[in-house]
A and B are shown apart, each in its own frame.
Chain A
């Protein structure tokens, strides 16, 4: 037993040394930044960046004009302008593949640092890792990254651009926004339940809830939902019946069609009044680009309410 353990230790240590040596190639100027978990030396400017999560990390990297060499988790959403030359890597991340890309900086959510999907702890052996959190707003994440990488002007411009968009929507639909209770949801046709994207569920600060909060909208409170926003089909009337309008997120799995066949969905006040706006693509997580996309979707819903 002890022999096995020590053999593993030697192999693990060797791998770490190899990783460090490999990733240290071509090192340029570095800047010491203070992180939540201590000081870190980051390259200035970074030349080869890997975004571990295709939602928050990728969108933040693009907003800060970072030179990406790959991203993981899932395919970039159609509204995220990722260059065709940037490949999607293995998912969950394959550390060997990432090592071979020789990144000098990695962006990774701090969701579960020891997990396979966001292996922040192990990635630190390859390159400096800058974290982001799904429990704070995308603007806060972007500001943190920009501060560490000395790109605050880009972040401020991106945030201001989005704020102007939000202000425009509020100016056009302010009264409707104030007087309408809404819910953003997606439907799982296999489990026959809705997942409502309100703030305060176990998923943290979901993007539809973030953008709705920026607009000043009113949503169904998380305490009326399951721990992750679940609403069983038989509870649709009791929970979703309180919404005046619904934003239905279509993952492309035929859910809206399945939902349209459900009598308990069809009898909801919002559905009967035609106050349902369908938005294509998984926009539950993300950052600035998803926020813009959702702002347009919420605007379409409020316009529908006014029609």
Chain B
């Protein structure tokens, strides 16, 4: 590892540690660092331990996993489609998950966090599978463009159907409104074991995929000449995105901008090497979601701003700043 790569790894890890510390300290119930330390040592208030271990720590862990998953999924989509605007929303994952949740809870009467998880995972998977099938991905030479258009079409269709289903039963729809804007306020301790296997499998597939993404970035003809099986690479990329973005969306709802902004920010730091970019994107994505969630919990406490709203509010100006910085750089 070069000195620069080491420094970058240290920087990303420090950001994540800082965000995690903030996530453990921040909350509507004011607890000092000393009180938390006492609680960890087992000498403090029982309530402080319940808050730390039962609420904040699982939430930080879930937020980190969700943020890392969305950022890595976004990085894979941007690399595989060679589309800098790629993010999980491009494959209709958010819209598919939202449609399934609203139809399931509103029209089929399936209530509760467990059903939301199952429905969201199902909707995200179906949408992510439908997009490449509709785009005719395997046979096409202009796959990225077709994939983008098919994703936009599937997303719009799912969104329209979601709105129609929501209008059919507004009162029941209201029950999942919080999930639909992206939130980590659910029972993180219960969600973690449910989604962690899918997310960890997604990270594993991403690690295996990263070298192939570097070759694919050279262009289809060159990649084929170098012996890269393009169809298998795309299938693997799709699998990784379904596992990562589908799992993250099922756990926390559609959280915007992380999948788009984190890979962008990382490319400015580490360049186009997919292996390094995906690792750093994961770390920064995790830090971003944890910090945004902590901010949302204290900004209007004891009320709470869902993390999906905070990432959008913070992410949009940051992304614009990145674009302007990039534009000023000499080619």
Contact = CB atoms under 8 A, between A and B. Distances in A.
Partners in one complex: yes
Interface of A: 74-75, 91-92, 188-193, 225-228, 230-235, 237-238, 253-254, 258, 263-264, 267
B176 A190 contact: yes
Nearest to B187: A192
B178 interface: yes
Contacts of A231: 302
Contacts of B112: 189, 253-254
Interface of B: 27-29, 46-47, 50-51, 54-56, 111-113, 116, 170-171, 175-176, 178-179, 183, 185-187, 297, 300-304
Contact of B111 (A253, A263, A267): A253
A253 B55 CA distance: 22
Contacts, number: 76
Nearest to A238: B29
A193 to B, nearest CB: 7
B29 A192 contact: no
Nearest first, the 10 closest Cβ-Cβ pairs linking A and B are: A232-B28, A226-B302, A234-B29, A226-B303, A234-B51, A191-B185, A235-B29, A74-B171, A230-B303, A237-B47
Given A74-B171, A253-B111, A264-B54, A235 B302 contact: yes
Given A234-B51, A238-B29, A267-B47, A227 B187 contact: no
27 contacts: A188-B178, A189-B112, A190-B116, A190-B176, A190-B179, A191-B185, A191-B304, A192-B186, A193-B185, A226-B303, A230-B302, A230-B304, A232-B29, A232-B301, A232-B302, A233-B55, A234-B29, A234-B56, A235-B302, A238-B29, A253-B111, A263-B50, A263-B54, A264-B50, A264-B51, A264-B55, A267-B47
Given A232-B28, A234-B51, A193 B171 contact: no
B303 A227 contact: yes
A264 B170 contact: no
Contacts of A253: 111-112, 175
Nearest to B176: A190
Given A234-B55, A264-B47, A189 B113 contact: yes
Given A191-B178, A230-B303, 9 more contacts: A189-B187, A190-B116, A191-B183, A225-B302, A226-B301, A226-B302, A237-B47, A238-B29, A263-B50
Contacts of B297: 232
A228 B304 CA distance: 11
Contacts of A191: 178, 183, 185, 304
Nearest to B105: A253
B170 A92 contact: yes
A74 B176 CA distance: 17
B187 to A, nearest CB: 7
Contacts of B116: 190
A92 B170 CA distance: 8
Most chain B Cβ neighbours within 10 Å, of A189, A228, A232, A235: A232
Contacts of A193: 185, 302, 304
A191 B296 CA distance: 13
A190 B178 contact: yes
A84 to B, nearest CB: 20
Nearest to A91: B170
Contact of A234 (B27, B111, B186): B27
B304 A232 contact: yes
B175 A190 contact: yes
Contacts of B111: 253-254
A238 B48 CA distance: 11
A226 B302 CA distance: 5
B294 to A, nearest CB: 13
A254 B110 CA distance: 11
Q: Which of B51, B175, B186 counts the most chain A CB atoms within 10 A?
A: B51
A134 B293 CA distance: 34
Nearest to B306: A191
Contacts of B113: 189-190, 258
Contacts of B51: 234, 264
A145 B178 CA distance: 37
B134 to A, nearest CB: 32
Contacts of B301: 226, 232
A232 B47 contact: no
Contacts of A232: 27-29, 297, 301-302, 304
Contacts of B50: 263-264, 267
A192 B51 CA distance: 13
Given A226-B302, A264-B54, A192 B185 contact: yes
Nearest to A190: B178
Nearest to B185: A191
A193 B13 CA distance: 32
Nearest to A202: B303
A95 to B, nearest CB: 15
B177 to A, nearest CB: 9
Nearest to A191: B185
Which of B27, B28, B178 has the most chain A CB atoms inside 10 A of its CB?
Answer: B28
Contacts of A227: 303
Q: Counting chain B CB atoms within 10 Å of each CB, which of A192, A193, A225 scores highest?
A: A192
Contacts of B54: 263-264
A206 to B, nearest CB: 17
Contacts of A235: 28-29, 302
